[in-house]
Structure 1
């Protein structure tokens, strides 16, 4: 036992060291208390491994178990993530596992976890962007009659927004590189929802901003240039709202202007294509006939950009205030 504790200390494992025979006779509650303060269990039988895994799961831990022999199979099956050795592992172990290391290298697990966290992160980014865009579009279309306005979009314009923004730009969120510090976060609960209440409230805020900006632009355009001008201005503003909103989707908590701002080249190519295509739709004669648009002046474009960027600026301001409040709490906690 002392030798096991010494090896644990040499490896930097903080906690107690126990042997499998000490698990025998303990009820599940006592075992749960023991595993919480233990770093190493040595000389454990298959039933011990299984009970240790169950005790950890009962305390809300996400449990990974590695093994290569037949006696590891029950614990591998019980764990949240069973990891089997692909070279030295038995067929029974591989069947019981959820992950097989083809190179038998434990370092591969770290890479797999990072890849999995990155994929999940990117799924959340995609969902946040798509939902906020759809909420903005729905609120704009439904809100127009409430304010005595005509619908600011034609059917083909709505289809255009879905094609150019919900297409390539949204899909490039799926190839975002891993964010800084992604491996420092604790494991996510298996019951964690993608759409939490707080997240939905933020998406509603983005949707309300888009709807208010688009309807305000439409009303202003109708008063200063007529129906066709108002529709074009509102349509362009809504497309640009999506341009800026995608940066909100990329960074939920920290600032969007971080070290990864320019790292996704595919996203920037997609956004550049969106802007070019929108210019074509607004200024090219044949496209104007299809999309019911008229040419805009540089001042009109500047107005649309200024209004559309509000969704990013407001979110950055919210994050900044949250950072100040959180920093203040941390400082107070440190001084107490």
Structure 2
């Protein structure tokens, strides 16, 4: 049930709402992609693999930490792991709003895509219901988490967002000071 929840409820609405993100104002200033160029460039693959590695490592660390506490797979272990993955998914969706524009630098307004904000908010409310509503706890085999459990998960899961913001900042600072290779050559 948890996998269906992640695939249908957690991935679907936020991903679909990214489709109505405002078009980048600088899109027409960039040279067109060559006809034979691959859609999945080295840069795109690197970004995907980095976020996947962060999500996978973080989720496995939470699962391992929870398992080591008592050596048995409990509802708490799976709830922490399940919620960890969902939160990573939400932070990753936030990062995916733009390939190059930073939320922290104000290049994209945090609340500028209303549909995205609603999708994420409703997904998070749904996750809280799955964790705290007794009937849904039975269906999804979850248990209530403490406040500090959620705080720890938010801090850990936000690393996928911070890593991508750092990448955007690094790319921006190299472009600003004239670093890197010129595409005009």
Task: Return the index of the structure with the highest Cα Rg.
Answer: 1
What secondary structure does 2:96 align onto?
helix
Deviations 1:27-80 (A, max 9, x none): xxxxxxxxxxxxxxxxxxxxxxxxxxxxxxxxxxxxxxxxxxxxxxxxxxxxxx
- In 2, Cα distance between equivalents of 1:202 and 1:216: 21
In 1, the alpha carbon distance for the partners of 2:155 and 2:91 equals: 11
Question: Shift in Å at residue 316 of structure 1?
Answer: 1.1
State the 1:255 CA deviation: 1.3
Partners of 2:18 and 2:116 within 8 A in 1: yes
CA contact (8 A) 2:75 2:142 kept: yes
Structure 2 CA distance for partners of 1:177 and 1:322, relative to 1, 3 Å? closer
- Of the three residues 138, 159, 165, the one matched with 2:10 is 165
Unaligned runs of 5+ in 1: 1-155
Is residue 95–residue 164 contact of structure 2 (8 Å, CA) maintained in 1? yes
Between 317-326 and 289-298, report the one with greater CA deviation. 317-326
Q: Residue in 2 aligned with 1:188?
A: 33
What is aligned with 2:143? 294
Q: How many residues align?
A: 176
Structure having the higher strand fraction is 1
- TM-score, normalising length: structure 2: 0.87
2:14–2:120: 8 Å Cα contact kept in structure 1?
A: yes
Q: Hey, which bits of structure 1, 4+ residues long, moved more than 4 A?
A: none
8 A contact 2:90–2:120 mirrored in 1: yes
Whether 1:323 aligns to 2:168 is: no
Q: Call closer, same or farther: CA 1:168–1:314 in 2, change over 3 Å.
A: same
Structure 2 gap segments, 5+ residues each: none
Give the TM-score, by structure 1 length.
Answer: 0.50
